[in-house]
Structure 1
Amino acid sequence: MSCKSKVCNPPAGADVKWYDPKVSPNIFEAMKETWLDNAKLQTLMTSFRENIERGLKKDTHPTSIVKCFPTYVQDLPDGTEKGKFLALDLGGTNFRVLLVELDVGKCDMKSKIFAIPADIMVGPGVDLFDHIASCLAEFVKEDDVVDQILPLGFTFSFPLMQKGLCVGILERWTKGFNCDGVIGEDVVKLLNEAIQRRDDVKIDVCAVLNDTTGTLMSCAWKNKNCRIGLIVGTGNNACYVETQQNAEMFDEPDMGSGKVIINLEMGAFGDDGALDCIRTDIDKSLDEDSVNAGRQLHEKMISGMYLGELVRLYMVKFTKDGLMFEGKLSDALQERDKFTCTYLSEIEADQPGKYIRQREILNEMGLSYASEQDCINIRYICECISRRSAHLIAAAMVTLINKMGETNVTIGVDGSVYKYHPHFRRLMIQKMTELIKPGFTFDVMLSEDGSGRGAALVAAVAAKKKPA
């Protein structure tokens, strides 16, 4: 799916009255704190650009918030990649192992999903990598490739400081992980050691990357203008193609392209106070109760891990203020993370004025006594939270396009919020169209399995460079 910005530009006056006029006045006014006009977004864009510049430079990188890690991926795929490759995709409570076969524009994939038990997510790091190696061995045996030494691209979607294409030092855990003995260590080395401890499979881990790089590579395989990879899912991050001379942390010789993909780790934007001008008391409450308080503040206003909880906190606040549910809180409404991002998306997918799915959700939340006015208000709260998320993403993407200076850029996007929220894509594109410089256009392209196919493509590009 793609959409030119100049085609998607909404007509004058469009999307002005996006909320139901029947929203309770007190709640309408209270939620205005989540509205971001273009002046606020321009201020954030300036700050974000300054953060990127600091992250790219050697003298300011150690103290920068937006880290701008070089990925050591210097070349994009050209469509001639061939062969069999493995991909390992670790970025949440489940992970996938994939067998990918490429043949000049064609891609066949087999994959299997494995769960990560909750105790392993917060246990010793050696247990995590032993579990991954066990599942990897199970997969290659089932697919009868155990006797082949296949290149593997390792998608590791946590903040990494890369020292090379297959050396990635974990900076910090996110997404509920907190395994001992991994921060400050090379995750590729830990995976290789776990594979060697088993001594029953031979695998060539030839590249480590995060899901944004995989998304960019997957889309670039089909679209030569793709220069940005974006994830809006459980977490949020982006990468983009930068000139090597601007990436001062990149310390390998130019191998021909003069470019390198930069992993922004943009979820941390605002950890230095840059977002204080738009953060609300609800944002602060969510952050204080999180496992990484004070960190990933941008992500906590954008990603699927937090959007539903923001809505729940507003619902609790307004109920305690006597503005919803006749002031009566259900047990479920008081349970942290009980109201999910999926609920938010499904409520906004209901036809305006119809509350079919919302009623089912409210019953699940122990709120069967909700009035029609409550339903109107809940939808409005959801709309405010999701619009803010989309507008923050739009501002970040336009900042990258402006920085690169390319007049026609494709953004490869993946992630559950972008894919499944009924209005996110439209809201993001409309706001980008308002913010982008005259004469610049953009496409937005849904990634086809960036963490899988993209990881295999990174491995394939790396394999082409290896001496025979």
Structure 2
Amino acid sequence: MKTDKTIEMGVKSNQSTMIREQCQELILTPEKITELEKRFLYEINRGLSKETHSKADIKCFVTYVQDLPNGKERGKFLALDLGGTNFRVLLIHLKGENDFEMQSKIYAIPQHIMLGTGVQLFDHIAECLANFMKEHAVFEERLPLGFTFSFPLVQLGLTKGLLVRWTKGFNCSGVVGEDVVQLLKDSIARRGDIEIAVMAILNDSTGTLMSCAHRNHDCKIGIIIGTGSNACYVERVENAELFDGDTSKPYVLINTEWGAFGDNGALDFVRTEYDRDVDKYSINPGKQLQEKMISGMYMGELVRLVVVKFTKMGLLFGGQGSDLLFTRGQFFTKYVSEIEADDPGTYNNCRMILEELGLVDATDEDCANVRFICECVSSRAAHLVSTGIAVLINKMDEPSVTVGVDGSVYRFHPRFHNLMYAKLRQLVKPHIQFDLMLSEDGSGRGAALVAAVASREN
């Protein structure tokens, strides 16, 4: 005869089995990854082609950056790094290969400015830039500046870029379709108290590539896995059909804007009800669909939606949720990293987080299931990123490629690097050597290096 304890254990075991079965849709099988590789390469080629570029999801914008750092860059350079709710100003003094001094400061962008006018945004940036220059006693110098602007841009030259659309929670009016370099220059001119020579505008993935290439000359790909997700890579000029710059140089950096992969339906076969919910309630429904499956802005919310579903089904927490659990945006992406950082068999972080959310009676079984859900969501993100990187590495077909990576998800998630490396090992052609390199100084230093290389060229 079964005891109450045996019945209870059987019920719990059955709940875990049901959760694992229902989470199968979050797991990218080898067959799905093969199909993703095919579709991803197809979109990359459409983005590069003059004929199909306008219809492509992965736009493959030309950056006009054609030279990587060679270690001979010298002098003082400013960098401005705008890509999320904060932006950084940097002053970098290059003294030789891997010999540099760097000072930087982070400035917040208040919500009302993120959703205000373009003039307000760029006036705020110019004010912070002027304050930084005063603090670092370069107020009266005319310094070259590299501007990292981590939103989709159509570049018409190294110092001219038109905003395609806002992402990552921004929605400033009067900027889409405008040259953001000119808007920055206008704000600086309105102040009249500082002089700056904007030498280049670039994306954060380009900045990451340049920053890593300064240390490792094999670096040919730059990846961001943070608030958003993007990639840039070195492409042969003859393959970049929209490039109208110097064709005497063999290569040009391409800003893929791969976050938009799937906007035309190419990802529908792997998207879930949770992805559709996140997209529906986002600031840009129908856009940046791959980014919404990968990046730090959405990962916590994806986990919350899965946890809510299973709670309402009675499979978690005895069917009892909490007000915070049922509130959008309250399961932060940092929780995913912290839960997965618990030692095997222990749930200290998980319990603390669940208690913060008002779930005070979680069992070990609940904690194990919540961790499993986190692992499914983060593994899927890492495998999506790896699939895109593998396509780029295999397309380039160089003997050795280093991938520069930056972003909070890659930096702080305890398993992300290993998940990516293991999947890349399966997907990259056997004769190609590859490595993943953390961009220690972020994309801001890369922006200064682009300015330095541009100054070297002049």
Fold shared per TM-score above 0.5: yes
Question: Residue 113 of structure 1 aligns with which residue?
Answer: 106
Higher relative contact order (CA 8 A, sep 6+): 1
1:168 equivalenced with 2:158 (yes/no): no
- For residue 223 of structure 2, the aligned residue among 201, 210, 230 is 230
Does the 8 Å contact 1:45/1:399 carry over to 2?
A: yes
Question: Residue 426 of structure 1 aligns with which residue?
Answer: 418
Query: Displacement, 1:222?
Result: 1.0
Q: Deviations over 1:274-313 (max 9, x none)?
A: 0011001111111111111111110111111111100000
Query: Which runs of structure 1 show a deviation greater than 2 angstroms over 4 or more consecutive aligned residues?
Result: none
Query: Displacement, 1:438?
Result: 2.0
1:253 equivalenced with 2:246 (yes/no): yes
Task: Work out the CA distance in 2 between the residues paired with 1:440 and 1:245.
Answer: 23
Query: Displacement, 1:345?
Result: 0.3
1:268 equivalenced with 2:260 (yes/no): yes
1:327 equivalenced with 2:314 (yes/no): no
Does the 8 Å contact 2:40/2:388 carry over to 1?
A: yes
Query: Displacement, 1:250?
Result: 0.9
Task: Work out the CA distance in 1 between the residues paired with 2:15 and 2:36.
Answer: 29
Q: Deviations over 1:247-275 (max 9, x none)?
A: 01111122x53100000000000001000
Question: Residue 51 of structure 2 aligns with which residue?
Answer: 59
Query: Displacement, 1:23?
Result: 7.4
Query: Displacement, 1:460?
Result: 0.2
CA RMSD of aligned residues (A): 1.0
- For residue 379 of structure 2, the aligned residue among 345, 369, 387 is 387
Task: Work out the CA distance in 1 between the residues paired with 2:139 and 2:46.
Answer: 45
Question: Residue 138 of structure 2 aligns with which residue?
Answer: 145
Question: Residue 11 of structure 1 aligns with which residue?
Answer: none
Amino acid at match of 2:115: V
Amino acid at match of 1:187: V
Does the 8 Å contact 2:159/2:181 carry over to 1?
A: yes
Query: Displacement, 1:38?
Result: 1.5
Q: Which runs of 5+ in 1 are unaligned?
A: 1-20
1:208 equivalenced with 2:201 (yes/no): yes
Q: Deviations over 1:142-173 (max 9, x none)?
A: 11101110000000000000000000100000
1:158 equivalenced with 2:151 (yes/no): yes
Does the 8 Å contact 2:80/2:90 carry over to 1?
A: yes
Does the 8 Å contact 1:23/1:377 carry over to 2?
A: no
Amino acid at match of 1:151: P
Paired residues in the alignment total 445
Counterpart secondary structure, 2:391: helix
Question: Residue 7 of structure 2 aligns with which residue?
Answer: none
TM-score between the two structures when normalised by the length of structure 2: 0.96
Question: Residue 3 of structure 2 aligns with which residue?
Answer: none
1:366 equivalenced with 2:351 (yes/no): no
Task: Work out the CA distance in 2 between the residues paired with 1:145 and 1:422.
Answer: 40
Task: Work out the CA distance in 2 between the residues paired with 1:129 and 1:430.
Answer: 42
Amino acid at match of 1:181: G
Question: Residue 33 of structure 2 aligns with which residue?
Answer: 41
Q: Deviations over 1:339-359 (max 9, x none)?
A: 011000000000111011111
1:451 equivalenced with 2:451 (yes/no): no
TM-score between the two structures when normalised by the length of structure 1: 0.94
Q: Which runs of 5+ in 2 are unaligned?
A: 1-12
Does the 8 Å contact 1:23/1:376 carry over to 2?
A: no
- For residue 318 of structure 1, the aligned residue among 310, 317, 325 is 310
Q: Deviations over 1:384-420 (max 9, x none)?
A: 0010011111111100011111121100000111111
